[in-house]
Copies of this chain bind each other. A is one copy, B any other.
Amino acid sequence: MRIISSIREMQGLVNGVIRTGKRISLVPTMGALHEGHINLINEGRNRGDVLVVSIFVNPTQFGLSEDFTKYPRDLEGDLSKIEDLGVDIVFAPNLEEIYPEGFQTYVEVKDLQEHLCGHFRPGHFRGVATVVLKLFNIVKPQVALFGEKDYQQLKIIQRMVKDLNLEVEVIGYPIVREKDGLALSSRNVYLLMNERNSASQVSKALREIKRKFDMGCRNTNLMVEFGKKILEETGINDIDYLEICDPETLESKELAGRGDLLAVAVRIKGTRLIDNIRL
């Protein structure tokens, strides 16, 4: 497992790989790796000849009041977690390498970024799209893997790839959950014991709503109110959104249909958690 921090070195290496006709797969991460990432890495290994994992905590996707500085960083720990997984290259650049002085170019996926988290994290998806585009240009993968927990991110990247004519297959991989249903997230480490208990109710609310849907309910207002009650009962009052929307356009729906996205974002004390399931 080779660790590379220089863009020039990374590009030189992948250019050689491409000339041999081999496939590169990329798992882009912000580190603090958990079982969700491990699944992406295992899947990535199956889908390419050369497997690259990038580790970079991207400042441009954090708002000014968000947790960029306290976001968990543990490169050593991350490397040891993945050393036996067949990763060929870890690309771990520093800030100045990715955003040198004078940097001023950003990419935006205009419509998809307006919905769900877009309302609550202005600039977030611009930062995501921009850094992912850079990573694609640096690592030149044929396949890139992203977790479906960040469903909106996944759709935005897929749209960007299509719109900008990138030859990258962007694959979403199912959410990995704790036994009690909590979706794995690097941010879960922020949760204190009692907050951790509340957090498990987030996925429970989604499951309960889906149960209502499966029993025939189609009125999204009713289902959302029902879900909010479950969250509020466990003390989660700070709900950014709980929404049923079209899985392609992410537009909110009044009448739910099979396959729609049910997505939620809550804040438990300072910790923002998101989750989703398909109806």
Contacts and interface: CB of A to CB of B under 8 A. Distances in A.
Contacts of A106: 107-108, 110
A251 to B, nearest CB: 13
Contacts of A11: 165, 167
A112 interface: yes
Given A19-B21, A137-B166, A166-B137, A160 B105 contact: yes
A180 interface: no
A23 to B, nearest CB: 13
Interface string A102-119: 111111111110000000
A111 B107 contact: no
A32 to B, nearest CB: 24
A13 interface: no
A160 B19 CA distance: 25
A159 B104 contact: yes
A233 interface: no
B107 A107 contact: yes
A279 interface: no
A98 to B, nearest CB: 9
Contact of A108 (B108, B109, B165, B167): B108
Nearest to A7: B165
A166 B107 CA distance: 14
A159 B106 CA distance: 11
Contact of A107 (B15, B21, B105): B105
A242 B11 CA distance: 42
Contacts of A159: 102, 104-105
Query: Which of A15, A102, A111, A134 is packed against the most chain B CB atoms within 10 Å?
Result: A102
Leading 3 A-B pairs by shortest Cβ distance: A105-B163, A104-B110, A137-B165
